[in-house]
Chains A and B, each alone.
Chain A
């Protein structure tokens, strides 16, 4: 372990946060590599679920010919995102395909065979951000299918619409890039600072924030320099802040604390403090969408790790298979210990090289055993390093104990749900205990329990409703029967009464007829009729 990291000696500003760790950044592997455009892959596999929220609804079928930028998946619901064809070509399949996710479970995917012509379909109408309203900008971002490109993939339009509900004063651009290895935001800012600055100005306009802070970790002096040169284009209230090089600086709520010195309350949005955080790559995507009407079709990512022959920063189309990316970088140096999408701290292990990269994929890493340093787990020695490193003020050792003994409620009591899964505790644990692994598993179990509980309640509610309905029907039937019976009775009586009347009449007639027969019974006859009716 380095006792003093050089980067921490460089000037950095901002309020301090608790905890955090200093993993070796290993950014030198790719930091010097200019962004290259990846040649057109043979196939593109574009998942319809690349974002947080509902899966997009497919708009194309097998055999369709699609044009570049054509919408192929329509956002469903308030939190969802459109998906577009990254290039022109033929749709050869629409159906389940292995997702870029550790589970390797399939997700609905549109497979396109590019025709190589890159023929554009209809673009979105261009906007002049100077004249456009906040709503128009948010709508354009929605149409363009832009999601948070730092990896969280939350639909950006939803976040750009927060100005309507909250009084916002600051837009923070997250260019901290605190994950080791990743250099794509660094390169993007160095190579295309004017695009990023313009996107930032557009987002600030949509949000109505007067202040803009572009937060870059102090270990990226070139990006800081580049952004400072174009700072005027990002707006009059814009500034660059060199924040400390400390993982997890890029965590939204911790970055907000570093920049404005305030903690976001638990379970609240940073917007409640008047702050919205967007990623630097998202800013560039917004710039393209608003100025040129281009939906989100590609992204920049870092290919790195000692398991890759030639580390690089690549601009790739969404849906490019990982194998194409690795081939372009000279392939793997051997069987990697771990193959990841994203950074080494929070990235996802993938099982297959055929999975595609998606909107939130900021890195493809092949790590060797020397880099992962995976060792056998030892018992906890209560050294407290996890407690000291937790940026959320949790006690990972205690959480782990409770989870291991299946006391999920006990774990929730001491803050399981406040864990952001940053991995600082697992990283620093001298016993190599897989702490975050356990926390994520417990969170999953709790979510499943919650949904099971919900399901049970729903079943119970439905069952009760059904019983009530059946009872109501039975009751109605009984009533109908009773009514029917009463009606029948009444009919009968009426008939009987009629009969009696008729008889009485007949009798009267008979009496009248037989008057001369001189019968004395005649006055008693009508008296008998009421008696009969009463029965």
Chain B
């Protein structure tokens, strides 16, 4: 429909634009990202840079192919933010081509195939993460123990880790918290024995553990998330319901058998849970628009993450949980329309109550 030139207001506008919103989210992501660089050294920084740069290249190519104005859209922040989140979920010492393939999957397959900004049904970063996890199970589970300063790879060595032939990283590698616990549990050991070492809740909370580039510090992600809410970029509905959904289910399991199921605190602080709650599930494009819908969507994601972690074959289920619920968003939106002013939920005018 062709709508004619200005006939009605408003003739003023709030300060916020798409680009500013995207960059604000990136600011909120930076503490946890910086922590990743600090923990995992130069290779993490290189991997991050490669992910962002290749995402911009793919974005530009797609925009040109679609004959969209490249200068308007390329730096709107959406491609950068997608790549940023993807980078945070990668193993920090992964080779460069993993980042490039991931950026391709996110930007081309996850976003532009659907029609670009705002049109994609699934979270592009999670599309890439899930695809990488299935296609490259080895590269995607090479977890690095946080390097202490003595063994930090130097700049040249780091270049070799990211861009060259990977050296024997076994020296540094170890299991992630989720992988370790899953493996040990399936070996039949009780949790009280497994949890004796470095994967206790306190360490996970501060983040000095092996794991994805930007997912290790629950504290810093939480801080960024709270900042996000304080700036009113997101509402509390999705993060809180993700955490509540996960805590409720894992709490029930834990109460049933504390030797077989980790505590809710452990679930909340490990893996991608925090990042998912505040930064991934809250992606505007792929989440419901009404508050009630957001609560349903969030709670389902939280519960599903715990279900996949506990009963599934993958140690982490965040990407799959988010993608599954992304697919349900149109349905959720349809059934959680807000009530129209002066009408009942079914759309009939309100009755006038006599006093």
Give me the interface of A with B, judged by CB distance under 8 Å: 1, 3, 18, 21, 23-24, 102-103, 180, 253-254, 263-268, 272-273, 338, 340, 343-349, 365, 367, 371-376, 378-384, 387-388, 390-395, 397-398, 403-406, 414-415, 418, 421, 423, 426-428, 430-432, 434, 436-438, 440-441
Contacts and interface: CB of A to CB of B under 8 A. Distances in A.
B9 interface: yes
B351 interface: yes
A268 B349 contact: yes
Interface of B: 1, 3-4, 6-18, 20-21, 72, 76, 78, 116-119, 230-232, 235, 284-291, 333, 337-343, 347, 349-352
Contacts of A266: 340-343, 349-350
B76 A393 contact: no
Contact of A378 (B8, B117, B290, B352): B117
Contacts of B17: 375, 378, 430-432
Contact of B12 (A380, A383, A392, A427): A427
A344 B10 contact: yes
Q: 3 closest pairs, A vs B, by CB?
A: A423-B10, A266-B342, A384-B289
B99 to A, nearest CB: 25
Which of B20, B78, B341, B342 counts the most A-chain CB atoms under 10 A from its CB?
Answer: B341
A21 B232 CA distance: 13
B342 A340 contact: no
Given A345-B10, A348-B9, A378-B17, 16 more contacts: A103-B7, A180-B12, A266-B341, A266-B343, A268-B352, A340-B11, A346-B10, A371-B12, A372-B11, A382-B287, A384-B287, A384-B288, A388-B291, A393-B341, A427-B14, A441-B1
Given A266-B342, A381-B118, A437-B7, A376 B16 contact: no
Given A379-B119, A418-B340, A423-B9, A395 B290 contact: yes
A372 B13 contact: yes
A349 B12 CA distance: 12
Nearest to A345: B10
Contact of A395 (B14, B284, B338): B338
B9 A347 contact: yes
B18 A431 contact: yes
A243 to B, nearest CB: 17
A437 B3 contact: yes
Nearest to A385: B16
Contact of B72 (A264, A376, A418): A376
Contacts of A272: 352
7 contacts: A23-B12, A102-B8, A379-B119, A381-B285, A388-B291, A392-B342, A441-B4
Contact of B3 (A103, A345, A380, A441): A441
Contacts of B14: 1, 21, 23, 373, 427-428, 430
Contacts of B290: 384, 387, 395
A430 B341 contact: no
B114 to A, nearest CB: 11
Contacts of A382: 118, 284-287, 289
Nearest to A169: B355
B341 A18 contact: yes
A345 B3 CA distance: 19
B288 to A, nearest CB: 8
Contacts of B18: 378, 381, 430-431
A440 B230 contact: no
Which of B6, B7, B232, B347 counts the most A-chain CB atoms under 10 A from its CB?
Answer: B7
A147 B300 CA distance: 54
A345 B350 contact: no
Contact of A406 (B1, B20, B232): B1
A421 B8 contact: yes
Contacts of A343: 9
Given A265-B351, A272-B352, A382-B284, A438 B340 contact: no
A531 B334 CA distance: 91
A436 to B, nearest CB: 5
Contact of A349 (B6, B13, B340): B6
B118 A345 contact: no
A343 B291 CA distance: 31
Contacts of A432: 13, 17
A265 B342 CA distance: 4
Contacts of B119: 379
A398 B291 CA distance: 15
Contacts of A340: 11
B290 to A, nearest CB: 6
B304 to A, nearest CB: 21
Contacts of B340: 266, 392-394, 415, 418
B342 A268 contact: yes
B7 A440 contact: yes
Contacts of A383: 21, 284
A405 B350 contact: no
Nearest to A376: B72
Contacts of B117: 378-379, 381
Contacts of A348: 8-9
A418 B343 contact: yes
Contacts of A380: 118
Contacts of A428: 14, 16
B116 to A, nearest CB: 7
Contacts of A273: 352
Nearest to B286: A382
B349 A344 contact: no
A102 B10 CA distance: 13
Contacts of B78: 381
B342 A264 contact: yes
Which of A18, A265, A348, A423 counts the most B-chain CB atoms under 10 A from its CB?
Answer: A265
A285 to B, nearest CB: 25
A458 to B, nearest CB: 27
B284 A381 contact: yes
A418 B4 contact: no
Contacts of B333: 398
Nearest to B339: A393
A405 B17 CA distance: 25
Contacts of A180: 12
A175 B6 CA distance: 29
B342 A3 contact: no
B11 A397 contact: no
Contacts of B287: 382, 384
Nearest to A24: B12
A362 to B, nearest CB: 14
A263 B118 contact: no
Contacts of A414: 337
A265 B341 CA distance: 8
B351 A102 contact: no
Contacts of A367: 11-12
